Amino acid sequence: MFSAPRPVILDGDPGLDDAVAWLLALSSPELWVLGATAVHGNMVLPLSLWNAGVVLALAGDVAEGVPYFAGADRPLLRSPITATHVHGATGLPAAGLPEPRRDPNPAHAVDFIIRTVRSNPRQVTLIATGPLTNIALAFRMAPDLPDLVREVVWMGGSTGQGNRTPAAEFNALADPHAAQIVLQSPAAVRMVGLNVTMQCIATPERIEQLRALGNRAGAVCAEMLNFYAAFYRERYGLSGGAMHDPLAVAAAIRPELLSWQPLAVEVELNDGINLGRTVCDLYNVTGQTPNVQVAVGVDEEGFFGLLLERLGTLP
């Protein structure tokens, strides 16, 4: 059994905003990072795995001893998609990045998730910042697992708009069948979607605040977020990139930074323009029992204050 801080597994597809998110988690004393599991998504799996090792090295001593693992290299059923047009060819567009300090653990990510959760029932939170393939596989391979996790906090979906398609957010679209498995499971799930993450923009002023921290982590994050901003200016006309994945980590650290509404949520699985849409029953018109705590509001300034405070403690 664990006492505070809260034990978590970071599951994601780094990716530059995953990198910022993982640095936030690793620098937060409220969280005890038991391991990091890579999945397909923004990048193909070998790059996601390499980047996981890079981020742990970038975090310095706070990540000493944190193992990382390779997970699923493709979705459950659909063909893979990536987001290199957003994150760059390597996923971490910054100079002077360290190489991983150690090799990945040879165990499979799904086995690590199952073993860790079973060993610590109702203690471990899974923070997912990519497609939910690893977690869905764990839930299918170990049907007892949804009742044994403390919580799944997922950056994915939306109460409305999409970003990869008009209807679907990228992480949901990248493996809609996995998202449906996890959201429809008995596990407690928090969904941090585009409806709140698109309110948290890394403006030029905020990027300069990161650079002004004077440490390597702040400089690297600032460089990556400048790269990210170019896509958001061109695609959305925004002054910077949306802090999707870091907001999900913040939700695990300080859930009070967001407002939550219990909703019935299903994922559209039929091919077509709506594939991957997270259908949120905002007005309970179906009468279905809510299965997800959905973020519907965010304290934007509080979030950025937390991010700057924590990243400032890193080397």
Of how many residues is the chain composed?
Answer: 315
Give the chain's residues under pLDDT 70: 1-3
Residues with Cβ within 8 Å of residue 230, at least 6 apart in sequence:
none
pLDDT of residue 4: 79
pTM, 2 dp? 0.97
- In 3D space, the residue among 102, 63, 30, 51 whose CA is nearest the CA of residue 220 turns out to be 51
d(CA 116, CA 127) in angstroms, rounded, equals 14
Quote the pLDDT of residue 305: 98
Question: Is 244 one of the catalytic residues?
Answer: yes
* Alpha-carbon dihedral sign for residues 240, 246, 251, 257: negative
The separation between the first and the last C-alpha atoms of the chain, rounded to the nearest angstrom, is: 31
Q: What is the sign, positive or negative, of the torsion defined by CA atoms of 306, 304, 20, 78?
A: positive
DSSP β-bridge partners for residue 32: 7
Q: What angle do CA 64, 69, 72 make, to 5 degrees?
A: 155
pLDDT at residue 2, as a whole number: 46
Residues 6+ apart with CB under 8 A from 150: 6, 122, 123, 124, 125, 188
Please report the pLDDT score of residue 96 as a whole number: 87
Residues 6+ apart with CB under 8 A from 307: 20, 24, 243, 246, 250
Under CATH, which architecture does the 6-311 domain have? Alpha-Beta Complex (3.90)
